[in-house]
Structure 1
Amino acid sequence: MVASEMTTSGCSARNEAEQGRQREEIEEILSLDPRNNLSLEQQYDLLTSVEQKRALEKLVLQSEADIQAFSLFLKLPTMALLMLNLVFAYNYAMRGLGSSSHFTNAALPFTSYAIHAEHPIIATELSIISLQFTIYLLSSRRWDWASKAGLIGLLFFSAMHALICRKNGAAELVWWILPAMNLAVVSYAQLNMRRSQRSIERLAHRVYKPKDE
């Protein structure tokens, strides 16, 4: 009988350890991997109330970090775009807005450096858009390093193309794809943050239910 009790207690301990390990895995997933097959609610139901609150706090912190990263992603390049537009407006004014020559080899003020794009303002802005991608990718936790490296390489190539290439044929397609890519990334980031916020609200409702329910 003693042996039976020891066996039962041993099985119980193993079961508790296994459940604890599973809860740790689920809690780690809640940190959060949206590619997991289980929905957030199903994952959440497998946790204790204390673990649910802790996981919810992690989700809130992660959402806040995403919002801060996205704000940085928008603010810094926006300021850079404003400054560059002022620089090129100065350059065009100095060379004469009525001259066709201002579309090629526009030089930065007080320097001898000139870029060779046919439309320097657009070229520079598209290069800054590539910088936006880079900032977002490096600050986001939603991408693994392999994806980040590949995308940053593509963006670097796109930026160089925008600055030095004269556009014709297939290159013209690449030229106009960049703004579309920027819109896609911004839309994805906003959609992702809204989806995370809705998930947090649903989980918070499950943890902190109103008293009249």
Structure 2
Amino acid sequence: AESKLRDADRKKDEFLATLAHELRNPLAPIRSGLQLMQLIGVSAPIEKVRSMMERQLLQLARLVDDLLDISRLTSGKLELRMERVQLQDVITAALETSRPMIDQQGHELTVSLPDDPIFVEGDPIRLAQVVSNLLNNSAKYTNHGGQIRVSVLCDSKEVVLTVLDNGIGIPAPMLERVFGMFTQVDRTLEKTTGGLGIGLSLVKGLVHMHGGTIS
């Protein structure tokens, strides 16, 4: 029975990796076509549709990237490129990624960082991915015109980064389960907002690979 479970788990990982690669291949030419339409100029009604298509394409690309990363993570093939990074730069990069979704939802974003530079050992791209995934979750599960706050506290031993919002929240029984793969608090909501239930699982995996914790 254990052997069958391991085999099924391996096939699931292989399926995720194959699915992500196959989905990713057509995205690049579609995005290039949309960008070409923008360059040559189109009428206002067509530009409105083109812009909508580009936003949805970016959302799809993020989902596919998450699928690729989670398959690498579960198979042990995801590698970190560790270096000395300034945490403020990581947060700036994450905000650049998440700002369009936050603005689209009309949220008010507040960022509170220490004046002195904070340096950590980590992979800057993966750390930014952690923060942007948390920000995207806040933007997604907060009603239009909500509030999102990013803050950082630091002492001699550790850095604590908090993403706080006034959204729908997470029921107490789900607080630990939300970090499991494919876990969704409200599947009805997921159908309207889009999501695979792997974002927080990916975040937890990346944080643990850095020797950190998340709650």
TM-score (structure 1 length as normaliser): 0.30
Higher helix share: 1
Q: Larger Cα Rg: Structure 1 or Structure 2?
A: 1
Query: Which structure's relative contact order is higher, taking Cα pairs within 8 Å and 6+ residues apart?
Result: 1
Q: TM-score, normalised by structure 2?
A: 0.30
